[in-house]
Amino acid sequence: QVQLLQSGAQVMQPGASVKVSCKASEYSLIHNYIDWVRQAPGQGLEWMGRINPKSGDTYYVEKYQGRVTMTRDLSSNLAYMELNSLTADDTAVYFCARRPPLMMAGPCLDVWGQGTSVTVS
């Protein structure tokens, strides 16, 4: 069963950095874009950006440019999202999600990780 398995919850101090991992299971990471989405407590979903695991090319939402870095380790089938200079406003659940191949569907998010809770306090 295709899955994305994320790292566990973290509590961080203001000003610190957090790195969340996302492991592709039962498929090769290289074949699909990985997007990162966050959800603050009681709020809606917010897109942060994406990485093309094949090339390493990234696109970040302007709000996060300069503060977020998305990377991948193809040998381990892992994608990472690192967010720096954390504030209380970064307290949220962070999701990684996969895009299906373009031959199957237009840009959407067909498989989601279980989410990683990040608390900044």
Partner 1 sequence: QSALTQPASVSGSPGQSITISCTGTSSDVGDYDYVSWYQQHPGKAPKLIIFDVNHRASGVSDRFSGSRSGNTASLTISGLQAEDEADYYCISYISRNTLENFLFGGGTKLTVL
Residues that bind partner 1 (CB under 8 A): 35, 37, 44-47, 59, 61, 95, 97, 100, 105-110, 112-115
How many angstroms separate the most distant Cα atoms in the chain?
44
Give yes or no for a contact between 49 and 114, defined as CB atoms under 8 angstroms apart: no
Q: How far is the CB of 17 from partner 1 (least distance, A)?
A: 24
Q: How far is the CB of 39 from partner 1 (least distance, A)?
A: 9
Query: CA 94 to CA 119: how far, in whole Å?
Result: 11
Q: How far is the CB of 86 from partner 1 (least distance, A)?
A: 22
Beta bridge partners of 94: 38, 116
Nearest CB to partner 1, comparing residues 16 and 27: 27
Residue 1 carries which DSSP code? -
Beta bridge partners of 20: 81
Nearest CB to partner 1, comparing residues 15 and 108: 108
Nearest CB to partner 1, comparing residues 16 and 119: 119
